[in-house]
Structure 1
Amino acid sequence: MNKEQFLHQLQLSLRNISVEERQEILQDYEEYFAIGLEEGKTEEEISKALGSPKQIAKELVASARIEKVEHSASAGNIMRAVWAVIGLGFFNLVLVLGPFIGVLALLFAGWVVSLSFILSPLGVLFNIIMGDFWLFDVFSAIGLCGIGIFVGIGMFFATKALTKGFIRYLQFNVSLVKGGLKHD
């Protein structure tokens, strides 16, 4: 594949990132070709040494998505980053999707427990309406509500920590796929 074919395929594969970033990346790869031609290599040799433009684009898109999550860790950005990393290879389906679902399940369960404990005084109101009121119910509901607030505070910090940890895990995974870990 020659320089024009390589750059065209790379440009098509980079459609999911901003125009500025795309132009910067294409300019970098044009420089790779210029340096290679100065060294006496053919365009075909250079493109073969660089690798598949589609795989390069997948890696760059995954890195861009993870970078975006680092700046703004919204649910949408995290999902896009997870799918970008999964797109790097079938093996990542197991390495990324499994832990991601596990982390989401833990967070969801913690938030549901917190919310149900906080809303436990509504059960006392229901008992009053039904005429089956016990003073023990009031104290139990107040205790559960307090526990629910503490669990909610803990879940807030756990959500932040697990989000940061999962982002680091995605970064580790991308660096592993890009060429293994470099030991200095």
Structure 2
Amino acid sequence: MNKAEFLNELSFCLQHMNDSEKNKFIIYYDEMISDYVENGMTEEEAVDKIGSPKKIAEELLDDSGSVKISLPSTGIKGLNVLLTVLGFPLWGSLLLAFILMVFSLYIIIWCAPFATGALSIGFFTTSIIGIAGSPFVMIKSVSIGIMQLGIGIASVGISLLLGFATIDLSKKLIILTKNLNAKLAALFKKKVVIG
């Protein structure tokens, strides 16, 4: 494997890392290989000496996902548990507030396609009633019956437009929701090193 192949594979394996950190590591390994080549090695020998890009990426991702936290401790395990339980009203209410805030964000995000979908169904219902009822209205007044028929046909068009808007909004919001879920999950996936 030459330098370009190594760096491409490493970049691919680090795709879950943010771009600035990933670029920092790519530049680092690019310079390391270049240094080995300047000292008389071939690119393949330098890459072999460094190791597998997959293994390097795993180590880098493991290291970048860890957070060092020092927890206060009384030195007595039972007292620590007791303090955690007694502190539940504070940290429990904060956790509940966070969960409810995230839930309300999802509700707000999904209100738009729900509204366009409801309007689409409403206009479609109006179109069926308008078109089906127009012959009966034409018996009494032809001009009003034709107007009702026209409104019914226009309602079909509006219903279709709103239906397509609902589908398009839903597709975009599914992607947005997946990204938001990934970011929220990343908050809880970090390794915690207690020291």
TM above 0.5, yes or no, is no
Q: Which has the higher contact order (CA 8 A, sep 6+)?
A: 2
Which protein has the larger Cα radius of gyration, Structure 1 or Structure 2? 2
More strand by share: 2
Q: Under TM normalisation by the shorter chain, which class is it?
A: 0.3 to 0.5
